Structure 1
């Protein structure tokens, strides 16, 4: 740490102490106000899960209101600037800061119509071993790109690179999404980031760092040099080039750091969470409790294939977690949490004391209250073991029944229809995928029938019958219909895995979900909730809370929780993005909210369309696309910028996609209080 940095840290510490003292002085005042009848409404009650949020927000507002003299305002500005400066200094050891670039020596921006830039020189604030990089390769000319444009170019015979021109600057990153390999040049370009056209993962265009999910790894970042004649030359780090992806720099465990952060859960939220902690420089103890007898894995593939090998599904290996000092307690779950003593009581009898805690325990499948659901060969699907059990029970002579009209049952039916004798789907609605509306639901209803799936709509499961050995062999519906079956897969909803938190002081809603603030903190200080169980603010729904079981949001929650635990104030800003594939038809769904009307643009019969879901006020709350990438990603990017799409943007003129030009319009982000 150099002298300037030490001085900044010293001054910052003083300012933080001043702020803390101010808050301590104000706290009794606000507590007395809370006990006053004038402040005794329910929303200020200690029984309200938002009690702590309101205190923190009120203290913050009161503190800012006290900085009304010029000297106080100057001190507050100094504090803010120093905090920003120190954050940058700390990031020097992180992955994003190690993505260096060539830049022009001129201080002027390279705008369209301006003179070409001066000859570039390599600039960096950190040491760099240039032997790790390739020689410079000319990929294009600066004139090949317009402002706010990205294009794919060849770096070598095996590597494509994404070159972006924004704000007059040229940057270059890998062009293949690190999730499932989608070509990013066909995605959505936002302000300083690019969004994957398939599943919505987002990458910073300057650093290649992953900022929204799904996925774990970041993109390679290329050094850029623009010559006097406009030639754009790139250099790549050889190791990143070989893998076509990059792991952000991570620190290792320092046993002199006695702090401990615990995450209860071994799913996608936990996987991103523990990595982000190390990427942000946390060197203390990290403990991850995994209820399943395996490490975190890509669960969403199970219903789409069932026959994946576990080592192909796991996000990271045991060696990876050991290398970075991340303790993984496999096959262990939390039996209770003591938030006063800050202890987690484990199912193996151990106790783990924590300084900060993330709860990300996910969901468990719900079985309907029907006679016979406990017979043999009646399954739910949530875990890898569930998938293996289903796969082991079916043969080419199996009569399979899937119960439910949502994604689990429908995906299982589509993946197994060619592996068994018959597949029957039972659901209560007129069409499956009720979230998509009648027109889209009927389209997929007809597709399933065309593929040989027997669709039993507008009915429900009444009873399951078994043989003498206890295996299911017959289904009865509520309309009295009976038919034979050999295997049943139940896709009939889920429950939150939060019952172990009773008497912990952590407020739970009646359904078991947990309310959080914009930073994922619960009503208990230092306790956070993320993933499926979090009833968290949703940007796409005016920051109203909701619980959403999508892997994209689950992984994003892991990142946000880790950032806030390590000192970065990070609000929730992700837009929910769901995806599925049935019979080769890729479904993308972005957004969230109640809708009153559905506008279909395109050709339904050819499975190439966009469905706009519009609320009572004419605002588009969600978009569904099939065969029309990257519209869903463009819509997600639009909402993430704080912009709104209205039905008038779609209905005016023949081109319903004119609204995509709104992505180029800059709008300052407004931080929301919650």
Structure 2
């Protein structure tokens, strides 16, 4: 039952427009809420992000009432508490603000204050003839099915995933090597049941776009009125001697992959681990395993992530992870894998083309992913892009087909962020897939609705937490680096002309989030201003104290 709770130490509502403040609630242990003033109204809501619990007082508040978390870009509507952008699934709890002669109170339920979130209402009894079939069970699929029910879609929903579990937080596989599905699954089976979302674990073998039928390996078929393709990526293997034949060589995409890696590492640890690929996955896994093992990372560039982040920033990542004892072999190419002297069927070493031999108890491949569209390869109704992806419109409708959408790793769509100019782009980011799913849900429920723009965001565990926003489909020409790069504390601004097209940061929150919101609003300062030392965290908006 809703009650009034007094806020400690606040005699009146003295916030300025654009200001936010975390306050304590009397009578509730560890009870905290966030006050945020937009225009002339003060709102009260959960104090922490519902994604990973970041304090929202560190986030970014905009004049149009968006509150964005500083860690991973989850965004909420201040007026309603609803999720605006991924990766949060649960909305914030909202509370009424009451000003009295003896102080300021909030009105709400104690359980909501303690829970720091509001349970989303997705309960549904299926009605009508509409049926959405979703192929895939990742971030995009989860964002789609939840958003459909949030937006009161009453039709049937069937999600078909090749993975033998419910949708998981896949980011935790490489960043933390968590293998317990109970700690990874976003929603319980009961949630899917009460939401009337059918979940099937099967492999889709073909789609008949004319008859609107999906066929699976088990022999079942599923009719649809709307089809969403969200099959994600398939990790690339190495077609080199030894890599197909020897055991203890792993890819990393699923819970069984992580379980197999942890089993090979064992409880005693101290293993010699070779990671092929200085990609984000390779670097994250190296970072996660480095404390108790001897880790070597092989990369083809001069520094890790040079192609995406540039040599100057890539060197920072290498030094950060190098402090943990990880050894790097850069400008290197792999020649072959060789068996162990004690077990002819297991890997024992990896040989480089320059003759270097690296001892290995196990090998992990992190050389990228390809769009998982093999089941569409010979379909005459569809034309895949050269990389195996599907071209879509801004609302992720597949080119040349009706009532079919594609999102996530398999979608190549027109990018309209800074410097994008509609360039066809494929982005393998967690947030992009989930936001695309939410966008497709809006298109299904309200076909005339315009696509909702969002700025791509991702994060990575590279010694410290990297945060990144924007994209560079047309490349970048210039870099402005602020902060203390040698200490792993920096903000990197990537420019095309004077336009900032992407921003990366470490230990300088909320630089990334602030930049993403400035990009979205068309208010991002130019490279020239940043080169003179402007701190984007100090950039205000007319009529507001600061975002």
Q: What TM-score, normalized by structure 1, do the two folds share? A: 0.75
Structure 2 counterpart of 1:113: none
Q: Report how far residue 360 of structure 1 moved.
A: 0.3
Structure 2 residue matching 1:439: 3-state secondary structure:
helix
Q: Report how far residue 397 of structure 1 moved.
A: 4.2
Q: How does 1:565-604 map to 2 (within 5 A)?
A: 565-567=444-446, 569-583=449-463, 585-593=464-472, 594-604=475-485
- 8 Å Cα contact 2:514/2:536 also seen in 1: no
Structure 2 counterpart of 1:295: 166
Structure 2 counterpart of 1:264: 135
Distance 1:230 1:273 in 2: 46
Structure holding more helix per residue: 1
Structure 1 counterpart of 2:73: 200
Alignment of 1:549 with 2:420, yes or no, is no
Call closer, same or farther: CA 1:428–1:531 in 2, change over 3 Å. Answer: same
Structure 2 counterpart of 1:642: 522
Structure 2 counterpart of 1:473: 348
Distance 2:54 2:362 in 1: 36
Distance 1:196 1:268 in 2: 19
Q: Report how far residue 368 of structure 1 moved.
A: 2.4
Structure 1 counterpart of 2:409: 532
Call closer, same or farther: CA 1:546–1:417 in 2, change over 3 Å. Answer: same
Structure 2 counterpart of 1:490: 365
Aligned residues: 528
Call closer, same or farther: CA 1:623–1:563 in 2, change over 3 Å. Answer: same
Structure 2 counterpart of 1:282: 153
Structure 2 residue matching 1:555: 3-state secondary structure:
helix
- 8 Å Cα contact 1:591/1:621 also seen in 2: yes
2:180 to 293, 298, 309: 309
Structure 2 counterpart of 1:402: 275
Distance 1:632 1:252 in 2: 38
Q: What TM-score, normalized by structure 2, do the two folds share? A: 0.92
Distance 1:658 1:555 in 2: 27
- 8 Å Cα contact 1:650/1:659 also seen in 2: no
- 8 Å Cα contact 1:337/1:504 also seen in 2: no
Alignment of 1:612 with 2:463, yes or no, is no
Deviates more, 1:563-572 or 1:385-394: 563-572
**Unpaired runs of at least 5, structure 2:** none
Q: Report how far residue 506 of structure 1 moved.
A: 3.1
Structure 1 residue matching 2:207: 3-state secondary structure:
strand
Distance 2:150 2:113 in 1: 21
Distance 1:401 1:282 in 2: 48
Structure 2 counterpart of 1:509: 385
Call closer, same or farther: CA 1:144–1:273 in 2, change over 3 Å. Answer: same
Alignment of 1:159 with 2:31, yes or no, is yes
Alignment of 1:324 with 2:195, yes or no, is yes
Q: Report how far residue 334 of structure 1 moved.
A: 1.2
Q: What per-residue deviation string (whole Å, max 9, x for no partner) do you get for residues 256-276 of structure 1?
A: 422211100011111121111
Alignment of 1:145 with 2:21, yes or no, is no
Call closer, same or farther: CA 1:658–1:488 in 2, change over 3 Å. Answer: closer
Structure holding more strand per residue: 2
Q: Report how far residue 231 of structure 1 moved.
A: 5.2
Q: Report how far residue 507 of structure 1 moved.
A: 3.3
Structure 1 counterpart of 2:398: 522
Q: How does 1:66-215 map to 2 (within 5 A)?
A: 132-138=1-7, 140=10, 143-156=13-26, 157-190=29-62, 191-215=64-88
Distance 1:441 1:656 in 2: 22
Alignment of 1:628 with 2:544, yes or no, is no
Call closer, same or farther: CA 1:451–1:242 in 2, change over 3 Å. Answer: closer
Considering Cα pairs closer than 8 Å and 6+ residues apart, tell me whether 1 or 2 has the greater RCO: 2
Q: What per-residue deviation string (whole Å, max 9, x for no partner) do you get for residues 567-612 of structure 1?
A: 16141411111111233x1111111112111111111122222111
Structure 2 residue matching 1:600: 3-state secondary structure:
strand
Call closer, same or farther: CA 1:312–1:664 in 2, change over 3 Å. Answer: farther
Structure 1 counterpart of 2:214: 344
Structure 1 residue matching 2:539: 3-state secondary structure:
helix
Distance 1:202 1:449 in 2: 34
- 8 Å Cα contact 2:280/2:305 also seen in 1: yes
Q: What per-residue deviation string (whole Å, max 9, x for no partner) do you get for residues 14-53 of structure 1?
A: xxxxxxxxxxxxxxxxxxxxxxxxxxxxxxxxxxxxxxxx
- 8 Å Cα contact 2:320/2:488 also seen in 1: no
1:446 to 312, 315, 319: 319
**Unpaired runs of at least 5, structure 1:** 1-131, 667-674
- 8 Å Cα contact 1:192/1:206 also seen in 2: yes
2:120 to 213, 237, 248: 248
Structure 1 residue matching 2:379: 3-state secondary structure:
coil
Call closer, same or farther: CA 1:494–1:151 in 2, change over 3 Å. Answer: same
Deviates more, 1:657-666 or 1:519-528: 657-666
- 8 Å Cα contact 1:252/1:325 also seen in 2: yes
